[in-house]
Amino acid sequence: GENVEQHPSTLSVQEGDSAVIKCTYSDSASNYFPWYKQELGKGPQLIIDIRSNVGEKKDQRIAVTLNKTAKHFSLHITETQPEDSAVYFCAVNTGFQKLVFGTGTRLLVSP
């Protein structure tokens, strides 16, 4: 089945710095790559997604880049703020139409 690896598992940055989280996957048929943010005690919430016909997508301070040849995609958060502190999950759809999630990255933004 699809294997999704997510790194790092924890990331600490100072407010205003950039944060980058990377995911690799194995199924070359995958064509949908969402990122979810989970705040403490809440369910995950979609923050950005990308489909395989584009290489980059931006939404204000958040961007996702996709390299289908290398089978990896990354989440970039610029000008981090304390409210960005959360757990972030990448996900990949498989040829069997199921979403497989990465293991999560705990981001801590210190003031």
User: Is 106 an interacting residue with respect to other proteins (CB under 8 A)?
Assistant: no
User: Is 97 an interacting residue with respect to other proteins (CB under 8 A)?
Assistant: yes
Map the footprint of other proteins across residues 6-25, applying CB under 8 A: 6, 9
User: Is 3 an interacting residue with respect to other proteins (CB under 8 A)?
Assistant: no
Query: Nearest approach, Cβ of 10 to other proteins (angstroms)?
Result: 11
Stretch that binds other proteins, among 12-20, 38-46, 52-60, 61-69 (CB under 8 A): 38-46
Please name which of 77, 66, 59 lies closest in space to residue 19, comparing C-alpha atoms.
77
User: Is 55 an interacting residue with respect to other proteins (CB under 8 A)?
Assistant: no
Q: Which parts of this chain interact with other proteins (CB under 8 A)? A: 1, 6, 9, 32, 34, 36, 41-46, 49, 89, 93, 97-104
